[in-house]
Amino acid sequence: MLTLGQNISAVIQTCFSQSKEELQEIATQRIVELIESNAPNTLEDDRNRWSLTDEVVPPDGDLVIITVHDDSGDTPFDYTTAGWHYKDAWFAESETQPMHSMVKAWKWFPKPYSGI
């Protein structure tokens, strides 16, 4: 599934073969449709998506969910915990030292349940 930004970019690229007026009309109409169809879900989709740590990191100090690959023992394994990124290093709540290359992915915590 394309993100809202990718959809908008595709619409604009498609419209470049049209005249200026046609481009404005088609792009405006299509962008409005995309925003209306994606607006409620766009931020939530981004917050639920895992991001690879070698591609993007959260703002320094923000607590996130991290996936750690631990190959220090006889049998490598992956686990998920809370952690944060700070000055080119990853930290996990359960560890006292930086995790460095062991953290493979991260995502935002979900919104807390508010149906109480």
| Angle between helices 4-15 and 20-48 in degrees, nearest 10 | 160
**90/56 same-domain check:** yes
Question: Does 116 map to a domain?
Answer: no
CA distances from 74 to 77, 98, 101 (A): 10, 21, 18
Residue 15 lies in a domain: yes
Domain interval for residue 33: 4-48
Q: How many domains does the chain have?
A: 2
**Shared domain check, 95 and 64:** yes
Tell me which of 34-38, 49-53, 58-62, 86-90 is least confident. 34-38
Instruction: Report if pTM > 0.75.
Output: no
**Structural domain includes residue 85:** yes
Residues 102 and 57 placed together within one structural domain of the fold: yes
Rounded CA-CA distance 30/15 in Å is 10
pLDDT digit string, tens, across residues 12-49:
676 666 677 777 777 778 777 777 776 555 555 667 78
